[in-house]
Amino acid sequence: MEFLNGLLNELMSGDRPLLSFLFFLNIILLVLSRPIIGLIAPNQDNKTKVKLAQSLNILVLGFQIIDFALRRSFVDYDGGYLVNLGISLMVIYTGIFLYSLSGTFTRRRFGKTRNLDDKTLYIETYNSRLINILLLAVIVLTVIYSLIKVWGADSLLETTGIFGIFIAFLAFTSAIWAPDIVSGLIILNSEMIVDGDVVILEGHADEFIIARVTLIYVVLYDVRNNHRTLLRNTQFIQGRIDNLSRIASSDGIRQALKYNIGYPEFSEDPELREAELAAFQKNIGDMFTRSFEACDANNAIKVNRSKPFEWAMTNAGDYALEYTLWVYLDRIPNTKITATIRSYLMGAMYKINENVYAASVIEGVDLSTPDLVNARLTGADTPQ
C-alpha cells in the first residue's frame, strides 16, 4: 500500500509531467483500445490487434512501475533507461497508430466505395495509395528522429549517422521492394481490379477472389479449393488477368461446353438421307432448347434467362461430331464468400451439363463417342 501511495504521489505531484502523462495515457489507451482500433480498422476481426495494443500498454506501465521501484530501492540508481524504453515503445505505437488512422481517412476521402456482402467498404485507389506512401515516409522519419531525441543520440543525425544509413539501406534494397510498390500502383491506377472481384490468372486453372491489394502483396481466396493465396504484386501482374466480375456486355459470362455426338447412320436414298439429316439436326436443336428451358425453370441455376443457349457444330472429327454449347451466366455478385461464387460458376455449369444429358435421353441423342474399328479382311478370313 505504501508503494502504491508513493507512486500516486509522484504521478500527481507534477514533478515529472512527462512520466505522469505517459502513465495516464497508457491507462486510457488500455481501457479504450477496442473502440480505438475499431475506428481505425472497421468491419474487421481486430482481436489480435487489440491484444497486442493492450500488451504494449501493460508493458510500458510495467516499465514505469519497475523504474519507480528501483529509484526507491537504490540510491545510486539514476533511472531513465526503462522510462526511455517505455517512451520509445509509445513513439513506435504512435507512429503505427497515425499511419493506420491516416490510411483509413485517405481511403474515405480519396478512395472509392463498394457494396460487398451488403456492407459499404472503402477501397484503395491510385490517389489514396500515393498519399499513404508519402505519409508513411514522413511518419517513419519522424519516428526515427523522435527516438534519437529520446535517447539523446544527436550525433546520429549527422550525414554519416542513422539517416545516412537509412537512406543507403533504402537505396541498396530498392530492387526488392520498389517493383512491388510500383506494381501495386499500376493495379490501382488501372481501376480494373478491386476487392471482391473474381479473376483468373495466367498459368492458374482456379478462380480467385481479390481479398486485399496491399502495398507489397495481394491476398487471394481460391474459389475451388477454399484456401487463401498470397502473391507479390509483381507476380500478380506478370501475366494475363481475366476479371470475371467486369463483363464486356450485359449478356453475362459466356462459357462453353463441348459434346461429342456419334455420326448418324443414313440410308442409300439421297432424299431419305436429306430427311434423316434434318431429323438428326432437329433432335440436336431440341436437346439444347429443352436443356435451356429446364435451366430457366430452376432458379438455383444462375443463367441469364433473357439470353437463350447458342450452339454450333465446331468440328467433324474422325470418331464423332463435336458440338459446342455456349451459355450465359448471371453477373457475379459483389462478395468475398467462395461458396457463393462456386454456386454461380461451377454449380451452374454442372447443372447445365446435367440438364443437357437429361434432354439427350429424352430426344434420343447418344452423347457417348463411338469407338470405331476398321477391320481389314485378310485372305484367310475371306468368306468362301
SS (H, E, C) 128-156: HHHHHHHHHHHHHHHHHHHHHHHCCCHHH
pLDDT of residue 13: 57
Q: Is the pLDDT of residue 21 over 80?
A: no
Task: Note the pLDDT of residue 353.
Answer: 94
Q: pLDDT tens-digit profile of 144-173?
A: 888 888 877 666 666 556 666 777 777 788
In this predicted model, what pLDDT tens digit does every residue of 287-324 receive, in sequence order?
A: 999 999 999 999 889 999 999 999 999 999 888 899 99
Q: What is the pLDDT of residue 3?
A: 54
- Report pTM: 0.69
At 203 the pLDDT is 86
Q: What pLDDT score was predicted for residue 158? A: 61
Which pLDDT score is estimated for 109? 79
Weakest-pLDDT range from 80-84, 250-254, 284-288: 80-84
> Dihedral through CA 188, CA 194, CA 198, CA 202, nearest 10?
10
DSSP string, 264-333: PP--S-HHHHHHHHHHHHHHHHHHHHHHHHHHHH-TTS-B-TTS--EEEEEEE-SSEEEEEEEEEEPPPP
Is the pLDDT score of 213 beyond 90? no
Q: For 178-188, how does the pLDDT look when each residue is reduced to its tens digit (9 = 90+)?
A: 898 888 888 88
Residue 375: per-residue pLDDT: 47
Lowest mean pLDDT, pick from 73-82, 124-133, 243-252, 253-262: 73-82
pLDDT for res 154: 67
Helix-strand-coil split of the chain, %, nearest 5: 55, 15, 30
Q: What is the mean pLDDT of the chain?
A: 82
- What distance in Å separates the CA atoms of residue 359 and residue 356, rounded to the nearest whole number? 5
Whether 280 shows a pLDDT value over 80: the answer reads yes
Q: What is the pLDDT of residue 326?
A: 96
Question: Which of 3-12, 23-32, 38-47, 300-309: highest mean pLDDT?
Answer: 300-309
pLDDT of 379 higher than 60: no
Element (H, E) at 259: strand 253-262
Give pLDDT tens digits for 312-365: 999 998 888 999 999 999 988 888 899 999 999 999 999 999 999 999 999 989
Q: What is the pLDDT of residue 323?
A: 94
